[in-house]
C-alpha cells in the first residue's frame, strides 16, 4: 500500500505560486536528488545475501536511505508554505512496506550526520521570499512618500485655489499615507504649514473610501452659517433668562463649536475626521459626550446624495450621540450658477463684454437661479436596539425662481441640543419655546450670499478670460515670428542659389573663352 506525501507551495503576498514551484523544480533538478516514483517497488535485501547487509556493501541502498529524509523535508516545506488558496500540489509516493525493510538496513556513520540537500531549498526559498517582500516594502514606501509630498504641495496651494474653486477638492490617501501626512506636518520645519494645517485648513478624511477632502468655503456658505448660528445664539440668549431653572440651565449648557473637526476613532490606526459647517454641543453632559448634539451642513456644490451620505455618517459613526443633522440643500442653485458662468464666458469670448465697460454679473437679469430646501436627519432605534438614520424633514423654502415659499422649514427644540441621557432625565422634562426660522429669512440670507458670490466669480472669470486672451496673443506673435523667420530663410536661400548660378555661368564663359583661344592658336600653327 502506497503512502502519499504532498508538498504545497503557496503564493505569499509578494511571491507568485508558479514562480516558487518553478524555482523548487529547478533546484531539485540541479542537485539531482533521487526520484521516488509512484509505482516503483523497492524490495529489501533478503537474509540469503549477507553481503548486502554489510555496511557500505552497495551504494544503491545507501542512496535510498535518504528517502525518509526527503519526505520529512517535504513536510517541512509544506509547513512553511501552506495556505488555503492558490496552492500547487506535488505528490510523491513510496511503499510503506519497503520503509520497514529499509529501516532495518544499517546506515553508514557518515550518513547519520548528512543533511538532506532539500533543506537548502527551503532556506533559499525563504531567503528569496524575504528579499521579494523587502523589495515590495521599499517600493510601497517610496510610493507613499511621493504621494504624501504631492498632497503637502497641494495643501500649500489651497489659499490660491480657494479664490477660484467653488467645490471641495479630493485626493486619494490610504490610511498609512494619511498617517504619514499627519506625521510629516507635525515634524515639518515650515511653521506656516503647521499653523495653516491646524488652524485654518478644513478637511475631511474617510478611511473606508481612502478620501482626503479639502472643504472649500464660498460666500453662500459663510452667509448661511453666520445667520443660522446667529439665530441659534439669539434664541439661546432669550431662553437663558427664562424663570424656569430647568430651561435656563439647559440653555446655558449649549455651546457653539463652529467648524471644529469631529473625530471618529478606530481600534487601530488614524481616525476619521469630519469638519462641519457649524455644530453645537452640550457642556454639562454627565457621561462626557465627545460629540456635538447638532451639526449643520450647507450643501452648495454637494449633490443631495453626498449630503445624505455625510449626514448618515455623522449619526452612525457617533452611535446616535449626534442627535440631529440640519442640511441646507442648494445644489440646484449651484447648477444654475455654473450655467450663468458659462454664458458669461461666451460673452467675453464673442467680445460682447469689453474691458472698461460697466457690467454687473450679480444684477444680470438673464441669470437663472434654483431652489433650496431644508432637510433634517435623526437617529431612530428599531426593535432589538438596531439604529437607523431617517430623514424626518425635507421642506422647500426657495422655489426655482428664487422666491420664498410660505412655510417654516426649520424648527428645533431645546431638547435637541441636549445629550440623550440628560434629555431623558428630569432635567430635560420641560417645555420651552422652539427655535423657528422662516423661509423668508432663509431666502434673504441666500440672496445676500449669492450677490457676494457672483461679484467674486465675475472677477475670477474676467481675470481668466484676460489671461487666456493674453496667452493667445503671445502665441500668435510667436507664430508670426516663426513665419517671418521662415520667409527670411527662404529669401537667403534664394540669394545664395542666385550667387551660385552666377558663379557657374561666369566659369562657363571663362572656360569657353579659353577653349576658343586655344582653337584659334591651333589654326594659326597649322597655317
Residue-wise DSSP of 96-151: HHHHHHHHTSPPPHHHHSPPPTHHHHHHHHHHHHHHHHHHHHHHHHHHHHHHHHHH
Asked if 293 and 414 sit in the same domain, the reply is yes
Q: Which three cell numbers stand for residue 227?
A: 445667520
Angle at 435 between CA 434 and CA 440, to 5 degrees: 130
Q: How many domains does the chain have?
A: 3
Look at residues 422, 453, 471 and tell me which one is the last residue of a structural domain.
Answer: 471
Q: Which three cell numbers stand for residue 503?
A: 558663379
Report the pLDDT value the prediction gives residue 39, as an integer from 0 to 100: 41
Asked if 257 and 206 sit in the same domain, the reply is no
Q: What is the mean pLDDT of residues 470-482?
A: 80
Predicted confidence band at 13 (pLDDT cuts at 50, 70, 90)? very low
Asked if 92 and 40 sit in the same domain, the reply is yes
pLDDT digits (tens, 9 = 90+) for 183-234: 999 999 999 999 999 988 999 999 999 999 999 889 999 999 999 999 999 9
Asked if 104 and 201 sit in the same domain, the reply is no
Domain membership flag for residue 493: no
CB 229 within 8 A of CB 244: no
- Res. 178: pLDDT tops 50: yes
104-108, 171-175, 290-294: segment of lowest average pLDDT: 104-108
Cβ count within 10 A of residue 398:
24
Report the pLDDT value the prediction gives residue 208, as an integer from 0 to 100: 93
Mean of pLDDT over the chain: 78
Asked if 108 and 211 sit in the same domain, the reply is no
- Res. 493: pLDDT tops 90: no
Report the pLDDT value the prediction gives residue 490, as an integer from 0 to 100: 65
Q: What is the mean pLDDT of residues 323-327?
A: 96
Report the pLDDT value the prediction gives residue 34, as an integer from 0 to 100: 47
pLDDT digits (tens, 9 = 90+) for 262-320: 999 998 889 999 999 999 998 877 666 789 999 999 999 999 999 999 999 999 999 99
Report the pLDDT value the prediction gives residue 494, as an integer from 0 to 100: 67
Domain membership flag for residue 514: no
Query: Which is higher by pLDDT, 73 or 422?
Result: 422
Distance CA 394, CA 376 (A): 7
What is the span of the domain harbouring residue 158? Answer: 133-216
SS (H, E, C) 390-413: EEEEEEEEECCCCCECCCCCEEEC
Give rounded-to-5 percent helix, strand, coil for the chain. Answer: 55, 15, 30
Distance CA 344, CA 361 (A): 8
Query: Which is higher by pLDDT, 198 or 55?
Result: 198
Domain membership flag for residue 476: no
Domain membership flag for residue 190: yes
Asked if 137 and 223 sit in the same domain, the reply is no
Domain membership flag for residue 233: yes
73-87, 132-146, 338-352, 509-523: segment of lowest average pLDDT: 73-87
* pTM beyond cutoff 0.85: no
Asked if 303 and 406 sit in the same domain, the reply is yes
Helix extents (H) in 253-407: 304-317, 331-349
Asked if 300 and 400 sit in the same domain, the reply is yes
Look at residues 91, 116, 141 and tell me which one is the last residue of a structural domain.
Answer: 116
Q: What is the mean pLDDT of residues 132-153?
A: 87
Domain membership flag for residue 127: no
pLDDT digits (tens, 9 = 90+) for 366-383: 999 999 999 999 999 888
Distance CA 351, CA 463 (A): 15
Q: What does R_g of the chain's alpha carbons equal in angstroms?
A: 43
Asked if 274 and 400 sit in the same domain, the reply is yes
Question: 3-state DSSP call for residue 321?
Answer: coil
Asked if 242 and 140 sit in the same domain, the reply is no
Q: What is the mean pLDDT of residues 476-498?
A: 69
Asked if 209 and 226 sit in the same domain, the reply is no
CB 34 within 8 A of CB 23: no
Helix extents (H) in 265-330: 304-317
- Res. 401: pLDDT tops 80: yes
Domain membership flag for residue 408: yes
Look at residues 175, 190, 216 and tell me which one is the last residue of a structural domain.
Answer: 216
Predicted confidence band at 162 (pLDDT cuts at 50, 70, 90)? confident
Cβ count within 10 A of residue 435:
20
Domain membership flag for residue 500: no
Share of the chain above pLDDT 70, in %: 69
46-50, 156-160, 217-221: segment of lowest average pLDDT: 46-50
- Res. 67: pLDDT tops 50: no
Asked if 346 and 436 sit in the same domain, the reply is yes
Report the pLDDT value the prediction gives residue 225, as an integer from 0 to 100: 96
Amino acid at each position: 500500500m502506497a503512502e502519499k506525501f504532498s508538498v504545497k507551495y503557496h503564493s505569499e503576498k509578494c511571491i507568485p505560486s508558479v514562480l516558487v514551484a518553478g524555482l523548487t523544480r529547478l533546484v531539485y533538478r540541479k542537485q539531482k536528488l533521487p526520484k521516488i516514483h509512484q509505482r516503483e517497488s523497492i524490495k529489501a535485501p533478503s537474509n540469503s545475501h549477507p553481503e548486502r547487509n554489510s555496511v557500505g556493501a552497495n551504494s544503491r541502498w545507501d542512496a535510498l536511505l535518504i528517502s525518509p529524509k526527503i519526505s520529512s523535508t517535504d513536510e517541512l516545506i509544506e509547513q512553511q508554505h501552506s495556505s488555503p488558496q492558490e496552492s500547487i500540489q506535488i505528490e510523491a509516493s513510496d511503499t510503506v512496506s519497503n520503509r520497514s525493510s529499509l529501516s532495518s538496513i544499517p546506515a553508514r556513520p557518515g550518513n547519520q550526520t548528512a543533511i538532506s540537500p532539500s533543506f537548502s531549498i527551503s532556506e533559499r526559498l525563504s531567503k528569496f521570499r524575504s528579499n521579494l517582500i523587502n523589495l515590495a516594502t521599499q517600493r510601497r514606501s517610496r510610493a507613499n512618500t511621493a504621494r504624501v509630498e504631492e498632497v503637502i504641495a497641494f495643501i500649500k496651494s489651497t489659499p490660491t485655489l480657494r479664490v477660484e474653486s467653488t467645490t471641495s477638492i479630493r485626493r486619494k490617501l490610504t490610511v498609512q499615507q494619511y498617517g504619514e501626512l499627519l506625521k510629516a506636518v507635525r515634524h515639518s520645519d515650515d511653521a506656516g504649514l503647521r499653523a495653516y494645517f491646524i488652524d485654518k485648513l478644513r478637511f475631511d478624511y474617510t478611511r473606508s473610501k481612502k478620501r482626503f477632502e479639502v472643504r472649500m468655503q464660498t460666500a453662500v456658505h459663510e452667509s448661511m452659517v453666520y445667520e443660522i448660528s446667529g439665530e441659534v445664539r439669539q434664541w439661546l440668549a432669550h431662553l437663558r433668562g427664562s424663570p424656569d431653572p430647568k430651561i435656563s440651565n439647559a440653555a446655558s449648557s449649549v455651546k457653539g463649536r463652529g467648524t471644529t473637526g469631529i473625530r471618529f476613532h478606530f481600534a487601530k490606526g488614524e481616525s476619521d475626521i469630519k469638519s462641519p459647517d457649524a455644530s453645537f454641543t452640550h457642556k454639562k453632559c454627565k457621561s462626557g459626550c465627545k460629540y456635538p448634539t447638532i451639526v449643520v451642513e450647507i450643501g452648495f456644490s454637494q449633490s443631495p446624495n453626498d449630503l445624505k451620505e455625510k449626514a448618515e455618517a455623522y449619526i452612525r459613526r457617533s452611535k446616535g450621540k449626534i442627535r440631529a443633522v440640519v442640511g441646507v440643500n442648494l445644489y440646484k442653485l449651484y447648477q444654475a450658477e455654473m450655467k450663468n458662468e458659462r454664458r458669461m464666458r461666451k460673452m467675453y469670448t464673442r467680445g460682447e463684454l469689453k474691458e472698461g465697460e460697466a457690467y454687473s454679473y450679480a444684477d444680470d437679469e438673464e441669470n437663472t437661479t434654483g431652489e433650496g430646501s431644508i432637510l433634517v436627519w435623526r437617529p431612530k432605534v428599531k426593535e432589538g436596539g438596531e439604529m437607523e438614520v431617517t430623514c424626518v424633514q425635507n421642506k422647500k423654502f426657495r422655489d426655482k425662481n428664487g422666491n420664498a415659499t410660505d412655510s417654516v422649514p426649520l424648527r428645533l427644540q431645546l431638547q435637541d441640543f441636549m445629550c440623550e441621557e440628560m434629555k431623558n432625565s428630569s432635567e430635560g422634562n420641560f417645555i420651552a419655546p422652539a427655535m423657528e426660522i422662516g423661509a423668508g429669512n432663509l431666502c434673504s440670507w441666500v440672496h445676500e450670499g449669492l450677490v457676494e458670490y457672483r461679484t467674486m466669480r465675475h472677477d475670477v472669470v474676467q481675470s481668466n478670460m484676460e489671461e487666456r486672451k493674453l496667452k493667445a496673443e503671445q502665441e500668435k506673435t510667436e507664430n508670426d515670428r516663426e513665419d517671418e523667420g521662415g520667409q527670411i530663410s527662404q529669401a537667403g536661400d534664394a540669394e545664395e542659389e542666385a550667387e551660385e548660378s552666377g558663379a557657374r555661368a561666369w566659369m562657363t564663359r571663362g572656360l569657353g573663352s579659353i577653349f576658343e583661344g586655344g582653337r584659334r592658336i591651333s589654326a594659326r600653327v597649322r597655317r
